[in-house]
Amino acid sequence: MANGVGFEVEFRNTRSRGLGPRPLPSAERASREETPKLRAQMPSEPLKSLLFLRSGLEASDLSALDAAWCIADLEDAVPLDQKPAMRGWLVSLLQAGCFRERGLAVRVNGFDHPAEAAKDLQICLHPDIDVLVLPMLTEAADVIRFDRFVTLEEKRLGMKPGKIGFICLLERPAAILNAEAIVSASPRVRAAAFGHADFLAELGGRASDASLSAAHSAVVLAARAHGLPAVASPFLDFHDDRGFRRECEKMKGLGFQGIFTIHPSQDEPARKIFAPSAQEESEARALIECLEKSSGIAVYKGKMAGPPMLAKARETLRRCEPRPRRSAPISVLQGRVPQYGLDLENVRRGAIMECPVEVTVDAGWRTLWQASFPSSSRIHSSAEYARGWGLEDTALPFGLLLNLTLCLAVEPFSESCRLHLGLEDAHQEATATIGDTLRGYVRVDSLSNTSRGDASVIRTTHILVNQRGERVFRLSKDSYYDAVRVECGREERPDPAQAALFDDSSAPGHREQLLACDSPPVGPVAPLQEGEVILHPPVRPIGISENLLLTTLFRKTHPLHFDTQHFGEDGLIVCGGFVQALAHACSERELRPVLDERLVRSHHVNPVAPGERVGAISRVLSVRPVSEHLEEVRVHTLGLRQVDVLGELAGVPIPAELFDPAPLKPSAIQAICRDHCPQLEGKIALRALRVILRPRHS
């Protein structure tokens, strides 16, 4: 095999056998058994950026490049009639010693051009070449044949066996399907790389995250399974610097450790992005120091750390870019960490907290609320109808006021809360309309540690007050906190003016105003039967963007609802008040027109994530007249997550115990669903007992 003819014949024989798996000849099996002793390390500089060299580049121009890794391309970018000139150009650079201080990869021709591949391997191999990029691979046998030929040439040239490594370029669908076998075919393999252009050309698809995701995963998994780096496909628009940086960040997030670069302007950004950041470097050094002082297992920043974390930290340091150090010392400052939420060290029964935010509700609030939680009752959408009931204008919806009452209290009270357990006696006391300015207050009614002493349950009263000093909304809330650090029986004497806001008031409120109306407007009323169960058709999501918008509008500062940096998108949950409002909105069409309501009790059972769909089912417990024009409906509503209410529950027996007005523990609810209605297991988001005031149905 010492002449080009032999190489070409062997390459053509390989190509003619097709792409399918086949047994390896005995010589090749022997080669695979012998090659482990040839395994050599890559140069110390990691493969963060592999810069394709411009053809014909002079040695003087090359010396001006700062690239740590270069690629001389003899394959795809070179027309057939120019390949001899390209080989001559590469040989001249090698003879001039241009690559003694930097890594060099050479993309040789593949089995689709066997004669050219044979010439590449015979003419261009040199001790200064670190790796060959092997294109157009389809199976492990392709790599093994390259290994055999390179081994012969190394021997002929007197090079150290195994000096030249391989980067397997996976750019054909067959190569993606055989990725693990290809990467593990030879100990010369130093990395796996992806080429999207040839892949899509053969696949017949268009470049998108969806079309490339499977290939990206296959390349990264195959490489990392064997402890090798994965190199991403080049970003072809070298004029789009921002797009290139975004691509590097995305590929790094997928597990790639470097990228092919096609212009010198891409090299430095790629090396910086694929290198660990200064923070990652600092964290790695601190973790190594912590683990080296221990017996191999330690708690680092509140999390268990061991050998896998140590190995990752050391790999991080190996990949760090050299950074200039300041010679002179600098002054440093340490930031104060603000503390929000209830102060468990000093909280007392009777304490009153004023919410720091005050909100004037304009028409934009109502528009956004109706878009997110559509009301089917005219009193919230028609000014004429509302005036017919004696109101000045359309009433702000019950759910909007409930959420304002809850959300304005997050910063001074709920931000340190573990769990929101439930609400009781949530009701509107004065009519609220567009233009009202609202502020909130929270009073601590009781607090006690649990029997185990590791947590506490705190009951509070929350009120919403308008610009006239009238109490607009009131509710009681149970919250789950860390253990209270003080004697729970001690009581605080609040400011008298604030305490007066919580006193019972005999002034007529929203409900009394409706009851006093002797000539109400006429409108359609949905019929209701006592004891019936209603499967409400609407099923709506609160999307990720919508959730962020609502939490911002309502001053919802608890990070669990918006902080994707800490919790990730999958770890966020929708505020319980929003879930409550959406479940009520989904049920309103069959209960309308709702003029007023009182939330007797509600408890959350399973959390809802942004993007999950919310629906509702209700049982009418009782219907009774309260005046000539009005009736009171007692209804128990279940808010459901990820259930197609009509499609999955029509005709399904639903346990009556789920609609029992008495509180049920989440474990009891889960047991009932598991044993009697598996369609609802893990799907009940909340249970809400409500009393609705509406016009009498004739």
Residue 214 has pLDDT above 90, yes or no: yes
Percent of the chain with pLDDT over 70: 91
Tokens describing residue 581: 């409002």
The pLDDT value recorded for residue 558 is 80
Q: Cβ contacts of residue 311 below 8 Å, gap of 6+?
A: none
Q: Tell me how far apart the alpha carbons of residues 580 and 576 are, in angstroms, rounded to a whole number.
A: 6
Lowest mean pLDDT among 35-44, 47-56, 87-96, 230-239: 35-44
Q: Which residue has the higher pLDDT, 544 or 28?
A: 544
For the stretch 395-424, pLDDT in tens is: 999 999 999 999 999 899 988 888 888 999
Main-chain phi, psi angles of 271, to 5 degrees: -65, -40
In the chain the domains, ranked by start, together with CATH numbers, are 4-275 (3.20.20.60), 280-318 (no CATH), 352-515 (3.10.129.10), 533-695 (3.10.129.10)
DSSP-assigned letters across all residues of 198-250: HHHHHHT---SHHHHHHHHHHHHHHHHHTT--EEEPP-S-TT-HHHHHHHHHH
Q: Tell me how far apart the alpha carbons of residues 495 and 499 are, in angstroms, rounded to a whole number.
A: 6
Q: Tell me how far apart the alpha carbons of residues 206 and 139 are, in angstroms, rounded to a whole number.
A: 24
Residue 234 has pLDDT above 70, yes or no: yes
For residues 556 and 407, the answer to whether their CB atoms sit within 8 Å is yes
The pLDDT value recorded for residue 18 is 34
For residues 630 and 645, the answer to whether their CB atoms sit within 8 Å is no
For the stretch 669-690, pLDDT in tens is: 999 999 999 999 999 999 999 9
Mean pLDDT of 491-498: 85
Residue length of the chain = 698
Does this model's pTM top 0.95? My answer is no
For the stretch 163-176, pLDDT in tens is: 999 999 999 999 99
Tokens 């150009």 -> residue: 89
User: How many helices (H) and strands (E) in the chain?
Assistant: 24, 21
Tokens describing residue 612: 């999950």
Dmax of the chain from CA atoms?
A: 109
